[in-house]
A and B are shown apart, each in its own frame.
Chain A
């Protein structure tokens, strides 16, 4: 696995990470999806499957919809959602390229119990390392966007890598390269944020007064951001309004300490109780001797 360009920031089930020498020359990277420019051609889907060597799957036949598949899958890491929305009696197609959001505060990584199965690189990409994955799917529950999917054949979980292998080599992700309308851009984070803001201003000038950048603060921002024309209603695009990592905090906080108290407190209590009161023996000598006399 390449290391230059993929310096590690966080590792699942591992408290301290030695980041190694150096830092990515790019700094943090971000992919920007402007859904207002997407024409639903699905070139990105094809490019994704081609680069990542994910051939067509006969177990997932075509279901007769504009949308290639009903949902993400272990061998289908990004999907154009053909959401049909009713806006004042008018049909609006909110075509949305959906994939892993590469959260700055990734719920999947925090929920993962297997050391090294999920890593976050210093450039912001969150990657699954299948060699270390145990298939527990805690990441599925930890993910606020419902992205990871398990393969029934390998028992491992897969998702978009943001083409970490290409990015480490200085290339843009395959989907970005394939997009014919520039609906997808990729670059350093400050540049992408500025570009998103600029596009939002243009949409607002065109009458989309609610247009915003989707970069949810509940997960400390994402490394895949959107420009949404109806930005006040991200649900129209199949995106959660305020994604947050909730239960993992409860688990790694109060529940962990309750568990510690019961486990170590219980053992310590038993030892102390034994020192003070000892065993109860009714058949011979021992602490229960007086008791034994009473029984007879």
Chain B
């Protein structure tokens, strides 16, 4: 906890380790999404050219997939406490409409992650698990029966589409809407105002912990 208190005039929101894990997940997922799109839609096949051509993409896509899933598991363990769904999250979800249109003052304060972020995380984790399981079948199709192969294609596609939708939302919110999030996930820090406005409960906890440590 001591790492998450003030630093250089800002509040440390993500430790260096957390940022590295986030970016391993993020970059591997973007690679998987772009190469996956190339194999899913013939009109996007040209994307393989960005990554070394078709055979190279076929070789690396599953391996990067394993790296992605490994980092996702580390992320789950790392954030398990902060991602727990609590009573106040239900309140937050009831005000999701207000949150979506930017009336955050009408939304109850959230912990380190708000309920939307938590659900998005679980959606991504579920999709990632399904992608890994079905992906192993697509990786070695001759080791599995016909039905398993065909079902895996459908599962892989559906999970990838869900994960893609979640990613679009995540990038849009993090990069374009919630100003300051980009600094948080790259440099690690946010301002006090940012913390109070977007994650009120978390901010209060930090302040309480801070004053206690000063005593």
Contact = CB atoms under 8 A, between A and B. Distances in A.
Partners in one complex: yes
Given A140-B149, A255-B158, A280-B102, A113 B40 contact: yes
B169 A266 contact: yes
Given A259-B161, A277-B101, A251 B153 contact: yes
Interface stretch (B76-84, B121-129, B172-180, B206-214): B172-180
B161 A258 contact: yes
B165 A287 contact: no
Given A247-B154, A255-B154, A277 B168 contact: no
Contacts of A4: none
A73 to B, nearest CB: 10
B58 A135 contact: yes
Interface string B154-195: 100110111011001100100011111000000000010110
Contact of B102 (A15, A137, A146, A278): A278
Given A13-B42, A137-B142, A250-B154, A288 B102 contact: yes
B57 interface: yes
Interface in A186-229: none
A244 B129 CA distance: 30
B13 to A, nearest CB: 14
| Number of chain B interface residues as a range | 35 or more
A114 B41 CA distance: 10
Given A277-B102, A282-B194, A295-B196, A255 B157 contact: yes
B180 A283 contact: yes
B39 interface: yes
Contacts of A270: 168-169, 172, 176
A246 B150 contact: yes
Interface string A128-140: 0000111111101
A250 B161 CA distance: 14
Nearest to B198: A282
A150 B180 CA distance: 50
B196 A114 contact: no
B17 interface: no
A280 B53 CA distance: 41
Contacts, number: 136
A250 B156 CA distance: 13
A141 interface: yes
B31 interface: no
A279 B153 contact: no
B146 to A, nearest CB: 7
Interface in A49-77: none
A155 B59 CA distance: 9
Interface in A272-293: 273-274, 277-283, 286-288, 291-292
A115 interface: yes
Contacts of B161: 255, 258-259, 262
B141 interface: yes
Contacts of B37: 263
Contacts of A138: 39, 138
A251 B45 contact: no
A96 B90 CA distance: 64
A87 interface: no
A146 B164 contact: no
A134 B153 CA distance: 17
B145 to A, nearest CB: 10
Nearest to B168: A266
A286 B179 CA distance: 10
A267 interface: yes
Contacts of B160: 259
A259 B45 contact: no
Contacts of B198: 282
Contacts of A292: 193, 197
Given A141-B141, A280-B102, A282-B198, 18 more contacts: A13-B42, A14-B42, A113-B38, A113-B42, A115-B42, A133-B55, A155-B58, A155-B59, A251-B154, A255-B154, A266-B164, A266-B168, A266-B169, A267-B168, A278-B102, A279-B176, A283-B179, A288-B102
11 contacts: A136-B58, A141-B138, A146-B146, A255-B158, A258-B161, A259-B160, A262-B165, A270-B169, A281-B179, A282-B193, A288-B197
Interface of B: 37-42, 45, 48, 53-55, 57-59, 101-102, 104-105, 138, 141-142, 146, 149-154, 157-158, 160-162, 164-165, 168-169, 172, 176-180, 191, 193-194, 196-198
